[in-house]
């Protein structure tokens, strides 16, 4: 009788464990599913700058605190689609780190699309930057680009937000 209880318990324990997935720069999005077939002619276009912090200084210039960043690309229009041509990530020194997609993507009306930079990805450093190029097919509200940086350690939590600045 003991074995009948012990065997299902062992099976439950073994199947209940999840394999850890290594952290890296990821995005909840599959960019190929967001590929825009064509870009609108005319309309409105722009370029937006966004600061993003992979790490910040803590106590002194010799101690840093790692952060997870969620970069949100928000379409603030109720009936028009926005097209983002590029999302380029640069480090503190201004060197290109990565481009998140190699084709234009669409963001539906009132939709938010995110890029997540894990706390173990320190490529951007203390002064990471994004440049977004976007376009729309009419004179609409510009998209909103924001980043939320967060970290927790023990009972200490830290979070803050940055907003994009229109370059053109």
State the residue for tokens 């980043």: 147
| pLDDT (mean) for 111-115 | 95
- Check whether 16 has a pLDDT greater than 50: no
State the residue for tokens 């930057």: 129
Higher pLDDT: 64 or 115? It is 115
| pLDDT (mean) for 146-168 | 90
Q: Give CA–CA dist 105/86, Å, rounded.
A: 8
- State whether the Cα torsion 122-129-142-146 is positive or negative: positive
- The answer to whether residues 72 and 163 touch, using CB atoms and an 8 Å cutoff, is no
Q: Give CA–CA dist 11/52, Å, rounded.
A: 44
**pLDDT one-digit tens code per residue, 69-109:** 999 999 999 999 999 999 999 999 999 999 999 899 999 99
The topology under which CATH files domain 46-166 is Hypothetical Protein Tm1070; Chain: A (2.60.290)
| pLDDT (mean) for 143-152 | 95
- The answer to whether residues 87 and 102 touch, using CB atoms and an 8 Å cutoff, is no
Q: What is the DSSP letter of 127?
A: G
Q: Give CA–CA dist 50/52, Å, rounded.
A: 6
Higher pLDDT: 67 or 18? It is 67
């Amino acid at each position: 009788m003991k074995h009948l209880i012990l065997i299902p318990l062992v099976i439950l324990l073994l199947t209940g464990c999840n394999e850890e997935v290594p952290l890296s720069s990821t995005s909840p999005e599959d960019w190929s599913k967001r590929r825009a077939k064509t870009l609108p002619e005319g309309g409105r276009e722009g370029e937006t700058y966004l600061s993003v912090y992979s790490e910040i200084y803590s106590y002194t210039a010799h101690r840093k605190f790692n952060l997870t960043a969620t970069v949100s690309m928000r379409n603030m229009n109720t009936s028009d689609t926005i097209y983002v041509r590029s999302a380029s990530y640069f480090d503190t020194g201004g060197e290109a780190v990565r481009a998140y997609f190699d084709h234009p993507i669409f963001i539906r009306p009132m939709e938010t699309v995110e890029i997540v930079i894990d706390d173990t990805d320190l490529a951007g450093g203390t002064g990471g930057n994004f440049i977004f190029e976007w376009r729309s097919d009419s004179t609409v509200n510009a998209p909103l680009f924001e980043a939320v940086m967060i970290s927790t350690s023990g009972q200490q939590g830290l979070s803050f937000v940055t907003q994009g600045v229109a370059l053109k």
